[in-house]
Amino acid sequence: MAGLNLADDTPMEVVPEEPAKPPAAVEKLIEEAKVAIAEQEKSEKRSLSLVVVGHVDAGKSTMMGRLLYELGRVDEKKRIANERGSAKIGKSSFSWAWELDGTQEERERGITMDIALQTLNTPHRIITILDAPGHRDFIPNMISGASQADCALLVVDAAVGEFEAGFERGGQTREHLLLVRSLGVSQVVVAVNKLDQVEWAKSRYDEIVGLLKPFLVQSGFHPSKTKFVPVAAMDGVNLARREPANSMLYKWYKGPTLVDLLDALDAPTRDVNAPVRFPISNVFKGSTSGVSVSGRVCGGIVVAGERLRIIPGDESATVKLIDNDGENLAWAGAGSNVNLTLTGVDPISLNIDSVLCRPGNIVPLTSTFTAKIIVFDIQIPITAGTSIELFHHSRDVPASISRLISVLDRSNGSVVKSKPRVLTKNMSAEVEISLRGSAYSGPASRALPVPLEPFSVNKEMGRILIRRGGETIGAGVVLELLT
């Protein structure tokens, strides 16, 4: 129960089931939602989600806290309270980060540990911010955030030695870029932060951009989808406004602010006609009655009042409320990051990365499947039988690469070699992956199947990451479910 954020002095009771809306009422709401979404996609004000990534201490949470203040999302009273509170525990430099790092442990340690969600408005975009942890101990949480994002903001520290620490092998700058690209993010804005610490040297900015550009291309980002911006988050320089005009930065930089670049991000088209898929990223107590779950709608439209199946398992729950940043909604379409308040269900049936779907079209379960993967820059080759951790949305389960089927040409996907003995760095391959039983359950434990779909059916449900020994060794897409 501790992992579900539900444990406290009073156990949560099953809230009596509220009557679900009749199918006709649900269908009517879905049609209304489709019309509204089509209208929104024609309008200038489009929605998207943005994951903020980068090496530990690059200033991600500070940047987002300051940006929310600059855009009027944090009032003066809250700013002063954060300033006083952080100074009281001797961490005054983290006052802006407190807007997103809300737990006591995060504030005391001065690092982000879990995903924080906030919403900000620019002239043409409604952006859901997913502030991800940079510390390598919390990579699983970062993967969970990246799997819910359309675009990425990479924050790098311009201070001498700090950028190098993040960008060299083992640093989180490289790993985060590879992870977000592998999870389907194709647009990235790179904020070169803390330039004030190098006296706004254009040479340092150019050096960092020159090192990152080829790596971004190598990682699969198209140059036209990659933008760079120099900033100083702590002082708010070049975040939302070009002020002060006489700043040392503007002597050589004439380009857009960070907000200008965020406002120009392409909002993806949503597949609202697909079956409903809602992988749960967190479970917590509802503000009223019931249990709440958060996550991203990965297909279709979820409607308040409808009954949904919980997979794995045979339980169902009624969607009592749909909440987005404090606003109650009648529906949420594909691509929306929302909280659902559920009734008529025992909280023990809800697990992180359970998937909610309609009873008539449930997500399949599998314990063995084939996948097309890209192998990262690894030192130890992959052989048949290699034990791995399989990551899918917020779920990570023990698995093994049970069979090496073929090596593929990275440019066109054609088979270069069948039944290879090993896979080495930068190879593309087709493999068979089998789930393993948990080591804690004894040698005879059976692997429980997990909800997955082929990439050809649902892109967001068909992406996977594989890790070994605390290192991400590859990423790919599900081709076919075998058992």
Tell me what pLDDT residue 420 has: 97
Tell me what pLDDT residue 106 has: 37
Q: Are 262 and 268 in contact (CB under 8 A)?
A: no
Q: Which of 54-63, 231-240, 386-395 has the lowest mean pLDDT?
A: 54-63
**pLDDT tens, residue by residue, 368-398:** 999 999 998 898 999 999 999 999 998 999 9
Residue 261 pLDDT more than 90? yes
Tell me what pLDDT residue 179 has: 85
Which residue's entry shows tokens 């949470």?
A: 61
**pLDDT tens, residue by residue, 206-228:** 999 999 999 999 989 999 999 99
More confident: 112 or 233:
233
CA distance 336 to 300: 10
Residue 119 pLDDT more than 80? yes
Fold matches, 19-34+272-357 and 365-481: yes
Tell me what pLDDT residue 80 has: 59
The proportion of the chain whose per-residue pLDDT surpasses 90, expressed as a percent, equals: 50
**pLDDT tens, residue by residue, 423-450:** 999 899 999 999 997 655 455 567 889 9
Tell me what pLDDT residue 77 has: 61
CATH of 365-481 among 2.40.30.10, 3.30.420.40, 2.40.50.140, 3.40.640.10: 2.40.30.10
Taking residues 229-236, what's their average pLDDT?
90
Q: Which of 50-64, 154-168, 185-199 has the lowest mean pLDDT?
A: 50-64
Which residue ranges make up each domain of the chain? Answer: 19-34+272-357, 45-263, 365-481
Taking residues 407-436, what's their average pLDDT?
93
Tell me what pLDDT residue 171 has: 77
Give the pLDDT band of residue 81 (cuts 50, 70, 90).
low
Architecture of the domain spanning 45-263: 3-Layer(aba) Sandwich (3.40)
CA distances from 72 to 68, 78, 119, 194, 229 (A): 6, 11, 11, 23, 22
Average model confidence (pLDDT) across the chain:
84
Give the pLDDT band of residue 101 (cuts 50, 70, 90).
very low
Map 308-371 to HEC letters: EEEECCCCEEEEEEEEECCEEECEEECCCEEEEEEECCCHHHCCCCCEEECCCCCCCEECEEEE
Residue 192 pLDDT more than 90? yes
Tell me what pLDDT residue 134 has: 42
Residue 135 pLDDT more than 50? no
Q: List helix spans (H) across 132-274.
A: 139-146, 162-167, 172-182, 202-219, 258-263
Q: Which of 478, 472, 430 is nearest to 450 (CA)?
A: 478
Helix (H) / strand (E) element for 390: namely strand 386-392
Q: Which of 102-111, 115-124, 325-334 has the lowest mean pLDDT?
A: 102-111
More confident: 41 or 27:
27
Taking residues 101-109, what's their average pLDDT?
41
Taking residues 188-192, what's their average pLDDT?
97
Architecture of the domain spanning 19-34+272-357: Beta Barrel (2.40)
Residue 112 pLDDT more than 50? no
Q: Which of 436, 437, 449 is nearest to 483 (CA)?
A: 449
Q: Which of 31-35, 107-111, 283-287, 291-295 has the lowest mean pLDDT?
A: 107-111
Give the pLDDT band of residue 42 (cuts 50, 70, 90).
confident
**pLDDT tens, residue by residue, 335-366:** 999 999 999 998 899 998 899 999 999 999 99
